[in-house]
Every structure is written in structure tokens, then in C-alpha cells.
Amino acid sequence: FGVRVLLSSSISAPFSFIGVRGPAIVMPVLLLEDRKNFSLSLKHELQHIRQKDIYWALGLELIKLFFWWNPAIYFWRNILTEMAEMVCDQNILKKATNNPREYGVCLISVAEASLNNFQPSYASGMASGQKQNKTFLSRRVNMIINGQKGKASISRIILKGVMLFSIIACVGAVTHGQSTESKLKTDPIIQNLVDQILKKGISKAEARSGYAAVSDPNTGVILAASYFKKEGDKFIRQSVEHFIAKPYEPYSLFKPMVASVALERKVMDENTVVNAEGGKINVGGRYFYDWKDFGDVTLADSVAQSSTIGIYRAADAIGEENLLKDLKKFGFGSNEHENIGWDKDGILEMAKGKDQKFNLIYLANGIGNIQVTPIEIMQAYGAIANGGKLLEPRSYSSENVKPKVLRQALSEVTALRMKRILNRVVTEGTGKWAQSSKYTISGKTASGFVDRLKVTEATKNANQAQFIGFAPFDKPKLIVHVIIHEPNGGAHGSKHAAPVVRSILNRVLGYKKIKSDHYASAY
């Protein structure tokens, strides 16, 4: 078939598209310096054209013109991109002349170059999907290294089925998008309070968007959930049902979960001292850096000061198998929130290979081969707040509904010890901006990069600030989770998200006439 191959000095990663004169491939001039990478990249783009990926990409862009407001189309576009790349990789590797190692090296090189690359949204390319999700790149490389080939035909059938379903879902979602009735029911008064406070927080941070959710840790009831995008002076309400169950990397919000397992299994206590290596650790010949040059730290300090190496020491003491087993008790990856709508499993697994120890650092710190949903995070912290019980989340109802206990995730003793550690985060750790003059707040900060559905030149440096907290200390009545996307000047959980959590707790607890416990001692 006739395909035009064009060269450009203004791009750093190849891509293919359908134009007025038919399919075309645009190759970066820089690739001419490496004949092997140029050849493999060209084969990859030709395979995209054979699979007709460029036609589906263009079709989805046309659908997006009419359904741009619908989050489902962005969700499915992300899935389609990943599946198309996996099928393309499999087809390339089916040919004996293509060396898997050389192809893997080429893939990584192109992914690295694509960090500063522009690619039209209607195009398909070797770097597609990588910029949104480094976990996806890891899965592709693992597939290549482990030689998982020969399933391309089945994958293509699945791919076509998903493509067709995505169109149906996007078109069929019109009714849902126009409906004023949400699947997720919330308390109208508390919802209004949260909306107001979240908007102020987004404006103050000069952020792109923000999310906030409030639940009762004693019942699992979601009292409020908001997700706003700011455009100019206007706030546009987004689909919170989609966001609350959308998997993402939790970053440092995951550290207390690891500490909880260490306490529960008695491999460490709060005062166990570990060496954080001055903020730099060599694992299997690879270096991992902490955010600060910590020396000796206790387990409690590792959470309060958010030491990535300190919490890795705890994970290593627990052991991979035991850690994964106990983390699942918190509901991660279990899809135990299906009654609120838009449910999707998180991902909790260890990447296999020679870098097992290095992957354990990632897992312990909530990055890499782990994705959770905001509702799963609320469930897990709710278990710490209520004495260790993992409750089924549910929509708000004016009627009193008996909470459903899924399991005892932690003992009451361990839950209390973790509450104290999380209070230290606020009183002397990274979450000082959450301190309240009315209530004793316990919680955790997190700062990191957003897993974006779409990355462009304008948003490639996207970041997020998080804080989750609960109060009062003795018998917590509310738990609040806030995520602020792309605050001006870089993200920090304490500066951008913690004040919003504090304001919501103060206002809603006051509305519910919960007595102040400002002078309560956590010890």
C-alpha cells in the first residue's frame, strides 16, 4: 500500500496519521543517526497503518467533537491506545528478523525522546500511551523481555471489540450525561459546603482542577463528592462518579498502609530505627533517591516525614508475599465499591524480573505497578479511623442503614497506633498546614505527577497535591480526601490540599455539631 514517509526536525518521536493524500508516517531527523532504531520505528508505524489504528484514532477524535464533555470517551481512548500498542508490539516480534532486545531498547529510547514531543491527538505512534503512564511502558518492556508473543490475532479481535464498544459507550452515554440524577447520592447540605470550599482551594492554588470527597468512617457512607475544572473565572463540574473510581498512583498516601502491616505483623514498632542512607540507596546496582537526605529514622518518622527509603525498609522487613497479602485486606484491587457506579478495579501487584527489590521500593511508596482508586483510599483510611474495620462504601440515604463490615483489616490496637502516627504527620511532619484550632486532625500528605489521559505541550508537567485526613481523634466522625491538580508553582500536599481538608472538616463537623477536641492528646 502507498504510504508517504516524511522527515521532520521539529519532532523527537515518530507517529503515523491519515491525511488528505492517504496514510503518512512522520519520522524525526534525529533517528537517522541510528539506522537500527530508525528501521524498527518505521516498521512499528507501518504496523499501525496495517492495523488501521490511524483510522480509529481519527474516528474517536470526530466523536469527541460531539461528546467532548463525556469522560467515557477519554477513558476508552486511553484503553484503545494501550491495546493498539500492545498488538503492534506483538506483531513486530512475531517476525524472527526482529530482535526483542533491540526492539525494547528502541522503545525506551523513543519513550525518552517523546517526553518533549508533540504528537497530534488524531495520530498513532510508537510513544503513544507512554507519556500518560510509565506503568504501561514497563508492561510493554516486560512483555518484550519475557517473550510473550503469538497472541496478536486474539488481541486484535479483542481490540476491535473494545473499539466498537467504546463508540457505543460514548454515544449511549448521552442520556447519562444529560441526566440531572447522579448514581452517587450525597447529603445536599454537606455537598454544597464541600463545593464552596473546594472552589476556593482551587482558586487559591491557581490550579487546573480539584477533587474532594467526604465519608463517614463508621458507616462507609459517602456524604459528598466534588470534582471541578477551572477555566478562566468559571468552574465546570466534572463527572465525579468517573473520577472517584478511576485508578491512579497514590504516591505517599500508600506509606501508612505499609507501616500498618509492619505494626500488625510485629516486624517493627513505632520506634524501630532504620537507616535511610542519607537519602540515597543502591538496590541491585540501581540508585533510588529520597526527597530529603534522611539518616536514621524510626518507622513513625518514615510516615510523619514521608521518607521513601525508610518505608522501603519496612516493606523489605515484611517481605513481598506477606505485604501483598495484607495490603489486599484494605480492599485494594478488590472492586468492593460496585454499588456506587462507575466501578473499576485498582491494580496491586509486583513487577517480576531482576529488579525485584527495586520494584518493592516502588510498591511501598505507591508508584509503579500499583494503582488504586480514590474510593479505595477512603476505605483504607476509614479502617484506620474506625478501629480496623473495612466497610463497604455506599451512597448517602436519609434512612439509617446498617454498615456492612467486609472484614477486619487491622486490629483495634494497630489502628490506634496508626492514628497516633498520622496525627504526628500533622503536628510535626509534612502535614502541618492541616492543623486546626477546633479539631485534632490525623492524616497524610502526597505530592506527585498526575497520570493524565492526555498529555500535550501545555500540560506535560502536570502534577498533583493530595491530603487525606480525619477528625476528631478519639472517635473520628468524618474522613476527607482532597486532590488538587496542577497548582501554580509545583505541588505540595501540605500547602495545597491540607488546608482544604482542614476547612471541610471544620465546617462539616461544625454543621453536625461535633464537639471540639482541639486539646485532645493523641498519646
DSSP state of 248: B
Q: Which SS3 state, helix, strand or coil, does residue 115 take?
A: helix
pLDDT reported for residue 435: 96
Q: Could you give the CA distance from residue 411 to residue 414 in angstroms, rounded to a whole number?
A: 5
Q: Which residues contact 418 (CB under 8 A, 6 or more apart)?
A: 256, 259, 260, 263, 384, 410
CA 304 to chain centre: 22
The band of 426, judged by pLDDT with boundaries at 50, 70 and 90, is: very high
Residue 329's Cβ-count burial label (10 Å; 0-12, 13-18, 19+) is buried
Is residue 239's pLDDT more than 90? no
- Given a contact cutoff of 8 angstroms between Cβ atoms, the answer to whether 473 and 520 are in contact is yes
Percent of the chain with pLDDT over 90: 48
pLDDT reported for residue 147: 58
Is residue 145's pLDDT more than 80? no
Q: Which residues contact 374 (CB under 8 A, 6 or more apart)?
A: 211, 213, 243, 244, 245, 246, 248, 481, 483
Is residue 523's pLDDT more than 60? no
Q: Name the strand (E) or helix (H) holding 427.
A: helix 412-428
Tell me how long the chain is.
523
Q: Could you give the CA distance from residue 303 to residue 9 in angstroms, rounded to a whole number?
A: 47
Tens digits of residue pLDDT in 308-326: 999 999 999 999 999 999 9
Q: Could you give the CA distance from residue 224 to residue 188 in angstroms, rounded to a whole number?
A: 8
Q: Could you give the CA distance from residue 350 to residue 348 in angstroms, rounded to a whole number?
A: 7
The band of 407, judged by pLDDT with boundaries at 50, 70 and 90, is: very high
Q: Could you give the CA distance from residue 252 to residue 244 in angstroms, rounded to a whole number?
A: 18
Tens digits of residue pLDDT in 260-296: 999 999 999 999 999 999 999 988 778 888 999 999 9
Across 503-519, b (16+ Cβ under 10 Å) vs e yields bbbbbbbeeeebebbee
Q: Name the strand (E) or helix (H) holding 159.
A: helix 152-178
pLDDT reported for residue 458: 36
* Closest by CA position to 479, among listed 210, 215, 188, 211: 215
Q: Which amino acid is at 89?
A: D
Omega within 30 of 0 (cis) for the link into 100: no
Over residues 462-489, mean pLDDT: 94
Is residue 248's pLDDT more than 50? yes
- Given a contact cutoff of 8 angstroms between Cβ atoms, the answer to whether 364 and 292 are in contact is no
pLDDT reported for residue 98: 79
- Specify which residues 225 forms β-bridges with: 213
The band of 493, judged by pLDDT with boundaries at 50, 70 and 90, is: very high
Question: Could you tell me which residue, 499 or 158, shows the higher pLDDT?
Answer: 499
User: Where in the chain are the domains?
Assistant: 4-177, 188-487+506-511
The band of 182, judged by pLDDT with boundaries at 50, 70 and 90, is: low
Question: What cell does 491 get?
Answer: 505541588
| Average pLDDT over the chain, rounded to an integer | 82
User: What CATH code would you report for 188-487+506-511?
Assistant: 3.40.710.10
Q: Could you give the CA distance from residue 21 to residue 432 in angstroms, rounded to a whole number?
A: 60
513 phi and psi, to 5 degrees?
60, 45
Q: Could you give the CA distance from residue 490 to residue 472 in angstroms, rounded to a whole number?
A: 30
Query: pTM for the full model?
Result: 0.66
Is residue 451's pLDDT more than 70? no
Q: Which SS3 state, helix, strand or coil, does residue 44 take?
A: helix
Question: Could you tell me which residue, 128 or 260, shows the higher pLDDT?
Answer: 260
DSSP state of 516: P
Q: Could you give the CA distance from residue 113 to residue 363 in angstroms, rounded to a whole number?
A: 26
- Specify which residues 38 forms β-bridges with: none
- Specify which residues 204 forms β-bridges with: none
Q: Could you give the CA distance from residue 515 to residue 522 in angstroms, rounded to a whole number?
A: 16
Q: Could you give the CA distance from residue 314 to residue 467 in angstroms, rounded to a whole number?
A: 22
Is residue 486's pLDDT more than 80? yes
pLDDT reported for residue 261: 98
The band of 135, judged by pLDDT with boundaries at 50, 70 and 90, is: low
- Given a contact cutoff of 8 angstroms between Cβ atoms, the answer to whether 318 and 299 are in contact is no
Question: What cell does 73 get?
Answer: 470517551
Q: Hey, how many other C-beta atoms are within 10 angstroms of the C-beta on 321?
A: 9
- Given a contact cutoff of 8 angstroms between Cβ atoms, the answer to whether 159 and 142 are in contact is no
Select the highest-mean-pLDDT range: 9-18, 162-171, 230-239.
Answer: 230-239
449 phi and psi, to 5 degrees?
-85, 140
Report, in angstroms and rounded to the nearest whole number, the Rg of the chain calculated over CA atoms: 24
Q: Which residues contact 217 (CB under 8 A, 6 or more apart)?
A: 381, 382, 383, 385, 386, 391, 470, 476, 477, 478, 479
| Strand residue runs (E) in 10-79 | 15-19, 22-28
